[in-house]
Structure 1
Amino acid sequence: MIRFEDVSVVYDGAAKPAIRGVDLTVPEGELALLVGPSGVGKSTLLNAVCGLVPHFTGGTLRGRVTVDGRDTRTHPPRELADVVGTVGQDPLAHFVTDTVEDELAYGMESLGLPRDTMRRRVEETLDLLGLTELRDRPIASLSGGQQQRVAIGSVLTPHPRVLVLDEPTSALDPAAAEEVLAVLQRLVHDLGTTVLLAEHRLERVVQYADQVIVLPSPGAAPEAGAPAEMMAVSPVRPPVVALGRLAGWSPLPLTVRDARRRAAPLRERLAGLTPGGAETGPGERAAGRGAVPAAGPAAVAERLSVRRGRTEVLRGVSLSVAAGETVAVMGRNGAGKSTLLAGFVGMHRPAAGSVRLGDLVPHRTRPAELLRHAGLVPQDPRDLLYADTVAAECAAADGDAGAAAGTCRALVAELLPGVPDEAHPRDLSEGQRLALALAVILTARPRLLLLDEPTRGLDYAAKARLVGVLRGLAAAGHAIVLATHDVELAAELAHRVVILADGEVVADGPTAEVVVASPSFAPQVAKILSPAGSDTAAGTTWLTVTQVRHALEAAA
């Protein structure tokens, strides 16, 4: 169904090809998973399937890409629209209409489908993706995860034979991600749809793949094969695979269920050991030996309620964050996580209750003064980026923060090496834009750092670098609040986890206690090594592969 024949793509002005020597086939009715580190050309490869490369992006495509027999060099995207449905990394760039129902119908209207067919398919898709209650909502009023589901639904309604998806679960909560992946699997198995998707959160999707395509490094030829075989050589791998490699399991497990069946000997080796070690981070101390340093609150919300139009988004939320503490705020899409973070930087005036940063009231404080007290990296990093180049953006951040020249640029290099100075922020990948936006905020070294989905678009190596930076900030006394669906990040980093539901706090406690009590928010290692009902108070809950590795090394 999809065929690459010795394909290379060179963008105008680039010194090296974005992809080179791509020669692979995705058969009809298969789900192919494209993996690799950030910046290796995954989005370029996906865009070559739908014709955006080279018809929209420019550059030179050598070789041949065919989709259902159509050569993408001679068929622009509009002539492939009846065959290929595409959702990129940025759902907002995908939308054409104003409301959910209109967006689901738009693609079918463009193809001239009968009205009765459109009505039936819209209803089916609303039910499939849990969007029924949102059908009349303006798209601009939805959360990032809700927008991502709408974007996916809008390409499902025309029933394309090929789906190309770039990080389709990056903004989804765990339950919503499972629902979307179940829909994709049903399309593959029941309708013979061909799916090619790129995803950094492999723990969510690798078990559904028929084949895995690995792009190991920029310009390197891809390798393709069975998922377990490819995970053995892939430079990026989910925790369940990393644990299998550490334990020496062969073949490598791809699911928690497979790993749990083999985990008895590993549990015996870990018996009597405690999570932790010389290089553990805050999340591991919370699960094991350490505790949050005693310190006064850097930020306090008391019985906070926030309304957006007629909707009460937050209801009576109380949250205190101490200096040196890292708190992960989790919950379903639309639970109020982003609104809570925005409240700490004064973007929403409380309808009731209060927010304080020390002696400051955020919504009454001038932005220039607030900058050094609280900084928010929003879900869409482009909201912070205005300059024409990375270098100019960093220079402006240094000036705004009164920092030494080069401070912001050094932070970008630490978070994600290889981002060029002359690149325009809009031309960066999602992960690169996030690294730049985070560096812009960190340049001012605010006492309170607020991050909304900070690992969206980041591979495991980039996430590990982010964790290292945030641990250093917490150790230096900064308070950190993360709104995230990334359960592995919360397990690795957070002292506390707060779970929101319908604008209210339903759980607040130490990371190990909260995440293990919830099947949706438990990390893979906890599901494998810490059976339900395990004694978290005794320090026997394992949350991360790092914990297990350090414990085994210390006992050797």
Structure 2
Amino acid sequence: MIRFENVGVRYADTAAPALAGIELTVPEGELCLLAGPSGVGKSTLLNAVSGLVPHFTGGRLTGRVTVAGRDTRTHRPRELADVVGTVGQDPAAHFVTDVVEDELAYGMESLGIAPDVMRRRVEETLDLLGLAELRERPIATLSGGQRQRVAIGSVLTAHPRVLVLDEPTSALDPGAAEEVLAVLQRLVHDLGTTVLLAEHRLERVVQYADLVVLLPAPGAAAVVGGPAEVMAVSPVRPPVVDLARLAGWSPPPLSVRDARRRAGPLRERLAGCSPAPPRQVADAEPVAVVRRLAVRRGRVEALRGVDLTVRPGEAIALMGRNGAGKSTLLGCLTGLHAPTGGSVQVGGAVPHRTAPRELVRRVGLVPQEPRDLLYADTVAGECAAADTDAGAAPGSCRALVGELLSGVPDATHPRDLSEGQRLTLALAVVLTARPPLLLLDEPTRGLDYAAKARLTAHLRSLADAGHAIVLATHDVELAAELADRVVILADGEVVADGPTAEVVVSSPAFAPQVAKVLQPQEWLTVGQVAAALDGGR
């Protein structure tokens, strides 16, 4: 169905090719997972399937890419639209209409599908993706994860033979991600749809893949094989595979279920051990206090009766379903939303009544869409501006970018960065100011495991230095590694608030892979297990 023959892609003014010598065949009716570190060319490979490379993104394409027998060099994207459906990393760039139901129908209208068929497919897709309650909602009022599901649904309604997805679960809560992956499996198994997806959260996807394509480095040859075979040699791998390497399991299990079947001896070795005690946060004056907070946005009651106290040095993970109110709560802490009821104070100031220039000294926010913070023409320009705004020494922001993610050239325009690279740049811009309260909204979207580990280490060092960190995330592995405390929101209310181990271990939806494998023991991360095993030698 998809065939790459010695494919290379090189963009203008770049020293190295984005892709080189790619040989790949994806049969009909298979789910193919594209994996690799940030910036290795995964999005470029996906765009070559849909014809966006080279017709829209530019670059020089060598070799041959065919989809259902059509050569993408001679067929523009509109001539592939009946065969290939594409959802990129940025759902907002995908939308044409303003309302959910209209967006689901738009693609079919463009293809001239009969109205009665369109109506049936819209209803099927609303049910498949759990969007029925949102059908009349303006897209602008949806959460990031809800927009992601709408973007996927707008492509599914056209029933493409090939579905190309770039980070399809990155903005979804664990439950919604499972629903989307179940839909993809149904399309593959029941309808013979060919699915090609790139994903950094391998713990969610790898067990469902029929084939894995690993791009280990920019311009390097692809490694193609079965999931277990490729994960055994991959530089990017989910926690369950890291645990397998630590325990000496070969081939590595890819799912929690398979790992649990082999974990008996490991649990015996860990018997009598316990994880290191959590960090102790000093009982100092809070940097932020939220009391009985209520927020109404149009017809939606986004928050009601929320209490939250944030102290210096504390790392808090806000978790919950898409649309639970996490981003709204962060927006209230930065003055983006005025409370309908209750109160918010940050550093003694009321955010929505404080001038931005004054508030920025108290709190910094990295939003879900990093481009909202980026306005310069080059990476170097963004870094220089960040140093000036923060009053930091020249080169501080650039050094931080290099620490979090190497290999980003100074002269690159931010729009030409991958989603993960753009997010890293936005993080560095905000972190340069070292605000007392740091807010992050889905900070690991587009980041590979190595980049996420570097980010976690940097955030931990900030917390150790007394900075308070509040992050809204669906990344349960990040919460396990970083958070001292987890707050779970549901329908705008706090339903759980406590130490990370206490909250996530008791929650099947928010427990990390290691916790699920080693239950009833309360281990959260591979690092904790490794430290215990080393200490027992």
Query: TM-score, normalised on structure 2?
Result: 0.99
The alignment of Structure 1 onto Structure 2 pairs a total of residues equal to: 537
Aligned to 2:446: 457
Q: Give the whole-Å Cα distance in 1 for the aligned partners of 2:411 and 2:284.
A: 42
Pair 1:546 & 2:527 matched: yes
Aligned to 2:152: 152
Aligned to 2:309: 320
> Residues 427-455 of structure 1: CA distance to partner in whole angstroms, max 9, x if unpaired?
11111111111111111110000000000
* 8 Å CA contact retained: 1:188, 1:195: yes
Q: 2:355 aligns with which of 363, 366, 372?
A: 366
Counterpart secondary structure, 1:253? coil
Alpha-carbon offset, residue 396 of structure 1: 1.0
> Residues 403-428 of structure 1: CA distance to partner in whole angstroms, max 9, x if unpaired?
11111111111111111111111111
Q: Give the whole-Å Cα distance in 2 for the aligned partners of 1:293 and 1:25.
A: 57
Counterpart secondary structure, 1:301? strand
Q: Give the whole-Å Cα distance in 1 for the aligned partners of 2:355 and 2:532.
A: 48
> Residues 92-144 of structure 1: CA distance to partner in whole angstroms, max 9, x if unpaired?
11111111011100110000000000000000000000000111111111000
Q: Which residue identity does 2:60 align to in structure 1?
A: T
Alpha-carbon offset, residue 357 of structure 1: 1.3
Pair 1:522 & 2:503 matched: no
Q: Give the whole-Å Cα distance in 1 for the aligned partners of 2:80 and 2:147.
A: 24
Counterpart secondary structure, 1:53? helix
Pair 1:472 & 2:461 matched: yes
Alpha-carbon offset, residue 293 of structure 1: 3.2
Q: Give the whole-Å Cα distance in 1 for the aligned partners of 2:285 and 2:229.
A: 50
Q: Which residue identity does 2:456 align to in structure 1?
A: V
Alpha-carbon offset, residue 359 of structure 1: 1.5
Aligned to 2:377: 388
Alpha-carbon offset, residue 547 of structure 1: 0.5
Q: Give the whole-Å Cα distance in 2 for the aligned partners of 1:181 and 1:57.
A: 28
Q: Which residue identity does 2:525 align to in structure 1?
A: T
* 8 Å CA contact retained: 2:281, 2:312: no
Q: Give the whole-Å Cα distance in 2 for the aligned partners of 1:103 and 1:358.
A: 42
Aligned to 2:19: 19
Structural RMSD (CA)? 0.8
> Residues 467-516 of structure 1: CA distance to partner in whole angstroms, max 9, x if unpaired?
01000000000000010000000000000000000000000000001001
Alpha-carbon offset, residue 298 of structure 1: 1.0
Q: Which residue identity does 1:445 align to in structure 2?
A: R
* 8 Å CA contact retained: 2:514, 2:524: yes
Pair 1:38 & 2:38 matched: yes
* 8 Å CA contact retained: 1:37, 1:236: yes
Alpha-carbon offset, residue 295 of structure 1: 2.3
Aligned to 1:279: none
Q: 1:329 aligns with which of 307, 318, 340?
A: 318
Alpha-carbon offset, residue 42 of structure 1: 0.4
Alpha-carbon offset, residue 272 of structure 1: 1.2
Alpha-carbon offset, residue 366 of structure 1: 1.0
Counterpart secondary structure, 1:233? coil
Pair 1:338 & 2:327 matched: yes
Pair 1:181 & 2:181 matched: yes
Q: Give the whole-Å Cα distance in 1 for the aligned partners of 2:118 and 2:444.
A: 36
Q: Which residue identity does 2:527 align to in structure 1?
A: T
Counterpart secondary structure, 2:516? helix
Aligned to 1:198: 198
> Residues 3-30 of structure 1: CA distance to partner in whole angstroms, max 9, x if unpaired?
0000000001111100101001000000
Q: Give the whole-Å Cα distance in 1 for the aligned partners of 2:358 and 2:387.
A: 15
Counterpart secondary structure, 1:297? coil
Aligned to 2:74: 74
Aligned to 1:413: 402
Q: Give the whole-Å Cα distance in 2 for the aligned partners of 1:164 and 1:295.
A: 50
> Residues 199-233 of structure 1: CA distance to partner in whole angstroms, max 9, x if unpaired?
00000000000011110111101011110000000
Pair 1:507 & 2:506 matched: no
* 8 Å CA contact retained: 1:295, 1:324: no
Counterpart secondary structure, 2:335? coil
Aligned to 1:90: 90
Aligned to 1:165: 165
Report the identity percentage.
79
Q: Which residue identity does 1:291 align to in structure 2?
A: Q
Q: Give the whole-Å Cα distance in 1 for the aligned partners of 2:367 and 2:177.
A: 21
Q: Give the whole-Å Cα distance in 2 for the aligned partners of 1:358 and 1:371.
A: 11
Alpha-carbon offset, residue 309 of structure 1: 1.6
Q: Which residue identity does 1:311 align to in structure 2?
A: V
Aligned to 2:422: 433
Q: Give the whole-Å Cα distance in 1 for the aligned partners of 2:280 and 2:268.
A: 27
List structure 1 runs of 4+ shifted beyond 6 angstroms: none
Alpha-carbon offset, residue 310 of structure 1: 2.6
Q: Give the whole-Å Cα distance in 1 for the aligned partners of 2:207 and 2:300.
A: 38
